[in-house]
Amino acid sequence: MILQLSSHNGIWFLFTTSVKGLEIYYLKDIEKGKLISHPCNPITIDTKYCRCGGGPVFINKILFRIAQDCSSEYGENISILKIKKLSETEYEEELMIGNYFDKKETWNSRGGHHLSCVEFNGSTIIAVDGKQNDYIINNFLSISYLIYKKIRKIICNL
């Protein structure tokens, strides 16, 4: 489950991915309020768009949602959707950019699953991650773990 919390028009919205798909909950008082399930839940069940891929972000007074594509594998890519309506009773979004990562660089040759944007000290900071084949570390850790398990079994049976 991934949670993304965002304030919009004085209401706090929690975006989360569950077994049902993308769901939104809302509350007015973040400290004492009770989360209320959005009446449009699930917002989508499409595995290309139902997993959060970063918190909602405002750009030029327009709210966008980052979605992680898990349609063929975890973190295949991300898409950017424009949130056209967001209230306690309505939700509407529109795909703006699909398959954001072109996968031409080594760091994201197999895709990516996160994009975050924040304002800090008058600057915009953007963080992304990428997927790539990792032959050395994963294989080393895998072999090391197998050796550990064998040694532990031998010691425990003494």
pLDDT tens for residues 87-133?
Answer: 999 999 999 999 888 878 777 777 787 888 877 898 888 888 877 66
pLDDT of amino acid 115:
83
Under a CB-based contact definition with an 8 Å cutoff, are residues 117 and 99 in contact? Answer: no
Q: According to DSSP H, which parts of the chain are helical?
A: 135-156
Q: Is the pLDDT of residue 21 over 50?
A: yes
Burial class from Cβ neighbours inside 10 Å (0-12, 13-18, 19+) for residue 14 reads middle
Under a CB-based contact definition with an 8 Å cutoff, are residues 151 and 130 in contact? Answer: no
The model's confidence at residue 139, banded by pLDDT at 50, 70 and 90, is low
Q: Which residues pair with 116 in a beta bridge?
A: 127
Euclidean distance between CA atoms 62 and 97, whole angstroms: 14
State pTM to two decimals.
Answer: 0.73
